[in-house]
Amino acid sequence: MNKEPTTETTLAVLIVGAGPTGLTLACELARRGVSLRLIEAVPGPQPGSRGKNIQPRTLEVFDDLGIVDRVMANGRMAMPMRSTAPDGTMKEIVTETLGDRPDVPYSATLITPEWRVEESLRLRLTELGGTVEFGTTFGSFNQSDESVTASVVKDGAIEITHARWLVGCDGGHSIVRKQTGISFEGETRDEIRMIVGDVEVDGLDRDAWHLLSHNEGVFALCPLPSTNVFQFQAG
Ligand SMILES: Cc1cc2nc3c(=O)[nH]c(=O)nc-3n(C[C@H](O)[C@H](O)[C@H](O)COP(=O)(O)OP(=O)(O)OC[C@H]3O[C@@H](n4cnc5c(N)ncnc54)[C@H](O)[C@@H]3O)c2cc1C
């Protein structure tokens, strides 16, 4: 990139990445009146269902944020599983029952596509006066004791942004984390691979998460509430 840096801004927090983590942080800051800039490399909202299980404690966070009704309207709680053996015999597996835990606000996990959760968070951010800057990629940063100077690329031009704080919410391959020198604890198991996709399926009930066994293994088809597709998962 050989264009000269063009824009300068001063703000409290620069957030890199507008997935669920960056959007939640942006909402939490915006509701407290903290100035922020939320940048996202991709040009627009991502469509994949990805993490479709929302845990009960996450629903409590969404409740506090004022979006739990919106999120739940696009999901289903305590979805049963239906297992079908290679010979066609079926078994219903109920792992969660609504009302089991009257002592907690939300007693079961919610199935909903991750893009729906992001949609609800983006809408809340808009209500709070914030926005996602799509098509804006973080490049690098320098920091002093007081602030951070970051370069971002937007519409092919480099912008220099000054912020009190820089927060990397840019996912598992985070550039912010790498440039900060923070390691990623864990390991990659190369022998384990999974195929995941959102697919249209004819003739399958949408009232349960289907586990279908065949002679070489098992695959799953989970109906995604608020859509007409299933999430397919296979080892
Ligand atoms: C197929 C699949 C299935 C999954 N299933 C589950 C599940 O069942 N349950 C569960 O809990 N989790 C699941 N996950 C994991 C879940 O999707 C992630 O934990 C979640 O997306 C993490 O959110 P995040 O906001 O931290 O990161 P991400 O959603 O990865 O968001 C990071 C964002 O940062 C942006 N970004 C990256 N680099 C830059 C840059 N340089 N400048 C600007 N923006 C940048 C990316 O474009 C991205 O939008 C699944 C993931 C996948 C891929």
17 CB near ligand 1 (under 6 Å): yes
Give residue-wise pLDDT tens across range 185-214.
888 899 999 999 999 999 999 999 999 999
113 CB near ligand 1 (under 6 Å): no
* Total-model pTM: 0.93
Domains in the chain: boundaries: 8-75+105-180
Residue with CA nearest ligand 1 atom 49: 19
Give rounded-to-5 percent helix, strand, coil for the chain: 20, 35, 45
pLDDT of residue 2: 44
Q: Where are the beta strands (DSSP E) in 76-216?
A: 76-77, 81-84, 90-93, 110-111, 132-133, 136-143, 148-154, 157-168, 195-199, 209-214
pLDDT score of 34 more than 70: yes
CA angle 86, 87, 92 (to 5 degrees): 80
pLDDT score of 4 more than 60: no
Give residue-wise pLDDT tens across range 60-73.
999 999 999 999 99
CATH superfamily of the domain spanning 8-75+105-180: FAD/NAD(P)-binding domain (3.50.50.60)
23 CB near ligand 1 (under 6 Å): no
The single-letter DSSP state of residue 49 is: -
**56: number of CA atoms within 13 Å, CB side?**
14
57 CB near ligand 1 (under 6 Å): no
Q: Which atom of ligand 1 is nearest to the CA of 20?
A: 25
16, 23, 122, 170: which to mutate for ligand 1, most atoms within 8 A of CB? 170
Residue with CA nearest ligand 1 atom 2: 50
16 CB near ligand 1 (under 6 Å): yes
Give residue-wise pLDDT tens across range 135-177.
999 999 999 999 999 999 999 999 999 999 999 999 999 999 9
